[in-house]
Amino acid sequence: MIKDRRWLVLLGLSLTYAVTNGILVHTLPLLYPQLIDSFGWSQSEVTLPATIFLIANALTSIPAGMMLDKFSPIKIIGVGLLAIIGGLFAFSQVQTLWQLVAVYALMAAGLSACGLVSNMLVLSRWFVHLRGRATGILLMSSSAGGTVFPLILGSLIEGGNWRLGMQVMSIM
């Protein structure tokens, strides 16, 4: 049993960061060929939502940081996770390019709320001693998520159902 609650907090933060970055940053590009095949979109159309994602993430980071200063970071992280879960499920239902752009914008706002800034804020409050080790563990989790989730989605895509794959991602 872990006697020091800080390590449980770090585990929760690391899992959150692994899932959010693992899916949003490292896994979604696997769907580009399926989107091109399903909708007949061009490569530039399929990558437009990813561009919007980066812009929206940048624009929502400052308001998310302001909210982190006013409200409980754990609650902000929870709201961000709900936005990402909703976005991933909505991704499985898209029919138009603009729906996909809206989904990516929603997930970007969610990532601003539960991504690196919020995780580092919580980590820095809970860890003074061994902060470097805790930071290394947190940052490593993004790479771990980037290793695991593409394998999971890739196997679902090979089964021929990218929509089901996105629903599974939303559950994870």
3-class secondary structure per residue, 15-28: HHHHHHHHHHCCCH
C-alpha–C-alpha distance, residues 36 and 165, integer Å: 16
Q: N- to C-terminal Cα distance for the chain? A: 25
Q: pTM of the full predicted structure? A: 0.92
Render each residue's pLDDT in the chain as its tens digit; 172 residues: 556 888 899 999 999 999 999 999 999 999 999 999 999 999 999 999 999 999 999 999 999 999 999 999 999 999 999 999 999 999 999 999 999 999 999 999 999 999 999 999 999 998 988 999 999 999 999 999 999 999 999 998 888 789 998 999 999 8
